[in-house]
């Protein structure tokens, strides 16, 4: 089974996910990344469907791919038409793609009620379209749309559709679970029959509406399918498609099928993050194999075991897919979590058992007060540093005040001017007290400006630090306006990224805590 072909349809089927809109340059970037990963076929889009796909295929002609083949996607000829005159088939020819994937109906229900033609005409549409493209020197893959639903309703007709494509010269017929409702054991049984009865390669294309897309694809491969389709990160319409990254990892590591090299396998996590960034879709931190938290341990029992034997709570070595394990420090943590986390952070700090227990008690109490350190490791590191003898914070808050002024706009009766936010901050640095004031676009921005105004006089290098994300969450929502709010701030200096947390019934105070942690962390870590 080492000859499994990987077929990626991120650039066509994946873009049907709500929220994804790829530019031509985005599609070219993703194509290059998929090529590096060892994908055999990259479906570029539907020529003629829109100007963007037309331009992609034009620019793709100059792509220097090392392994992958670009595929053009389209449908069979129109009912009662001629293949050689069909506009869709002509667009496929003009695309320049040497491999074409044609989609056609294989469900008698869809033929009768969607295409509104006869079963015999649909078979002719499939045969004529494939045969025409083959006569023009194109390799053809046929996607049998709605195949599994069609097979359950009328197995003989669904198989006739597949045979029609095979007889016309299709090098592979892909069985599509278009509605995503077929379970893996059903899929395996059906694929096994098709492999025996159809004289061409069988492929598999699954959707995730029943949350079994990857499982179904793997079952089909076990039953004899030789080509598998999927998308990066499982992108796709509705609940998405089979995740090509999970398919690759399972084939390679669980089923012993060398679909990619070891080096390519180790690029999975980086590819996951890269494509998420290009698609402007937040990466799924809990995605199998490649997610940030795929090998993260929170419970103290787990952390203790992993510290002794990594495989005790990890089904593979994370490094094999380019990922890494991590341990969280939270109210569920034990002493092993703290020791592991300090080592993971590269902190050469040896805490005594008493210090560790005191730190854990502090974490648990602060989490009870609304803090959470799982996503704010910089704030956790500051807790550790502050617990050590001899630690001198780079600044000390004396007090702060924020004023938001909202007045009527005298130039436009009945309306009001924009609110004015002003902050006054008093901090002590090296025994010297600085009192500064600044305004800003909102109270948090005003606080940030006032604090920096004071600190830059002592730490001019702090000017490289900037906030890149600010999130607020209500912790105990049932308390109305008295609720505790948690503020998470992400900061960067251009080279490093870190996150800090604050919590309070006052959103300004919660923001201040996270803001001060952000600046203090950078000064303690890199500022001196």
In this structure, the answer to whether residues 145 and 172 fall within a common structural domain is yes
β-strand partners of 140: 100
- The arithmetic mean of pLDDT across residues 182-201, rounded, is 97
Buried b or exposed e, range 15-50, using 16+ CB within 10 angstroms: bebeebebebebbbbbbbbbbbbbbbbbbbbbbbee
- β 227-230/201-206 pair status: parallel
pLDDT of residue 330: 47
Distance CA 153, CA 156 (A): 9
Going from the C-alpha of 93 to that of each of 90, 138, 384, 515, 526, the distances in angstroms are 5, 8, 65, 58, 58
More confident residue, 75 or 372: 75
The size of the chain, in residues, is 528
452 belongs to a structural domain? yes
In this structure, the answer to whether residues 305 and 238 fall within a common structural domain is no
Listed in sequence order, the residues at least 6 apart from 435 whose beta carbon sits closer than 8 Å to its beta carbon are 424, 425, 426, 454
In this structure, the answer to whether residues 253 and 355 fall within a common structural domain is no
More confident residue, 241 or 374: 241
Indicate which CATH number applies to the domain containing 405.
3.30.160.270
pLDDT of residue 392: 86
331 belongs to a structural domain? yes
* 3-state SS assignment for residue 145: strand
135 belongs to a structural domain? yes
- Condensed to tens digits (0 to 9), the pLDDT of residues 329-354 reads 544 445 556 666 666 666 666 777 77
pLDDT of residue 390: 80
In this structure, the answer to whether residues 522 and 432 fall within a common structural domain is yes
Which runs of consecutive H residues, i.e. helices, occur in 136-281?
147-153, 155-168, 184-197, 213-222, 244-249, 262-265, 268-279
Ranges 358-362, 387-391, 480-484, 523-527: which has the least confidence: 480-484
For the cut 80, the answer to whether the pLDDT of residue 301 exceeds it is no
**Structure token pair of residue 19:** 């929220």
In this structure, the answer to whether residues 19 and 105 fall within a common structural domain is yes
376 belongs to a structural domain? no
In this structure, the answer to whether residues 133 and 38 fall within a common structural domain is yes
For the cut 90, the answer to whether the pLDDT of residue 314 exceeds it is no
Ranges 9-18, 232-241, 342-351: which has the least confidence: 342-351
Domain that holds residue 437: 396-527
In this structure, the answer to whether residues 101 and 222 fall within a common structural domain is yes
More confident residue, 410 or 361: 361
In this structure, the answer to whether residues 303 and 257 fall within a common structural domain is no
Mean pLDDT of the chain: 88
In this structure, the answer to whether residues 273 and 303 fall within a common structural domain is no
290 belongs to a structural domain? no
382 belongs to a structural domain? no
The number of folded domains in the chain is 3
For the cut 90, the answer to whether the pLDDT of residue 57 exceeds it is yes
Last residue of a domain, one of 368, 384, 407: 368
499 belongs to a structural domain? yes
Radius of gyration of the chain (CA): 29
pLDDT of residue 382: 87
Place of tokens 């007060």: 369
Distance CA 217, CA 188 (A): 9
Going from the C-alpha of 334 to that of each of 216, 325, 352, 482, the distances in angstroms are 39, 17, 14, 32
- The arithmetic mean of pLDDT across residues 38-65, rounded, is 93
Place of tokens 């002003």: 422
In this structure, the answer to whether residues 145 and 177 fall within a common structural domain is yes
- Condensed to tens digits (0 to 9), the pLDDT of residues 167-185 reads 999 999 999 999 999 999 9
Place of tokens 């780079």: 394
């Amino acid at each position: 089974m080492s000859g499994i072909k990987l077929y990626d349809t991120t650039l066509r089927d994946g873009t049907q996910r709500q929220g994804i809109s790829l530019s031509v340059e985005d599609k070219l970037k993703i194509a290059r990344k998929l090529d590096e990963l060892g994908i055999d076929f990259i479906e570029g889009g539907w020529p003629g469907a829109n100007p963007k796909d037309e331009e992609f295929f034009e620019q793709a002609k100059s792509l220097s791919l090392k392994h992958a083949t670009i595929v053009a996607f389209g449908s069979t000829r129109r009912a009662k038409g001629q293949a050689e005159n069909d506009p869709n088939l002509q667009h496929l020819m003009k695309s320049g793609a040497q491999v074409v994937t044609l989609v056609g109906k294989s469900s008698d229900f869809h033929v009768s009620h969607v295409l509104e033609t006869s079963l015999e005409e649909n078979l002719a549409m499939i045969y004529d379209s494939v045969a025409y493209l083959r006569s023009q020197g194109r390799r053809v893959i046929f996607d049998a749309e709605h195949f599994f639903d069609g097979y359950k309703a009328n197995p003989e007709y669904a198989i006739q559709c597949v045979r029609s494509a095979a007889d016309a010269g299709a090098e592979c017929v892909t069985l599509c679970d278009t509605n995503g409702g077929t379970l893996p054991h059903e899929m395996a049984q059906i694929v096994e029959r098709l492999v025996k009865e159809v004289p061409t390669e069988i492929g598999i294309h699954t959707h995730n509406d029943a949350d079994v897309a990857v499982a179904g694809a793997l079952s089909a491969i076990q039953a004899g399918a030789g080509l598998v389709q999927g998308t990066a990160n499982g992108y796709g319409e509705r609940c998405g498609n089979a995740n090509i990254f999970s398919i690759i990892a399972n084939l390679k590591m669980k089923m012993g099928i060398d679909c990619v090299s070891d080096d390519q396998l180790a690029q999975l996590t980086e590819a996951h993050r890269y494509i998420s960034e290009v698609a402007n879709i937040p990466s799924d931190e809990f995605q199998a194999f490649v997610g940030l938290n795929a090998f993260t341990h929170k419970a103290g029992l787990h952390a203790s075991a992993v510290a002794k034997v990594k495989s005790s709570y990890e089904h593979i070595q994370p490094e094999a897919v380019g990922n890494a394990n991590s341990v969280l420090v939270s109210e569920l943590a034990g002493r092993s979590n703290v020791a592991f986390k300090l080592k993971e952070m590269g902190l050469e700090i040896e805490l005594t058992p008493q210090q560790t227990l005191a730190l854990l008690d502090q974490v648990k109490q602060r989490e009870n007060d609304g803090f959470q350190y799982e996503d704010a490791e910089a704030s956790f590191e500051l807790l550790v540093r502050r617990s050590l003898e001899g630690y001198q914070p780079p600044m000390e808050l004396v007090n702060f005040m924020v004023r938001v002024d909202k007045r009527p706009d005298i130039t436009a009766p009945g309306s009001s001017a924009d609110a004015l936010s002003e902050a006054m901050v008093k901090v002590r640095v090296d025994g010297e007290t600085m009192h500064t004031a600044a305004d800003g676009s909102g109270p948090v921005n005003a606080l940030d400006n006032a604090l920096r105004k004071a600190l830059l006089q002592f730490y001019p290098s702090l000017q490289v630090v900037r906030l890149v994300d600010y999130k607020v969450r209500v912790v105990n929502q049932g308390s109305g306006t008295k609720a505790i709010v948690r503020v998470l701030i992400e900061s960067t200096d251009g080279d490093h990224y870190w996150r800090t947390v604050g919590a309070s019934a006052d959103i300004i105070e919660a923001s201040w805590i996270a803001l001060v942690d952000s600046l203090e962390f950078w000064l303690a870590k890199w500022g001196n």
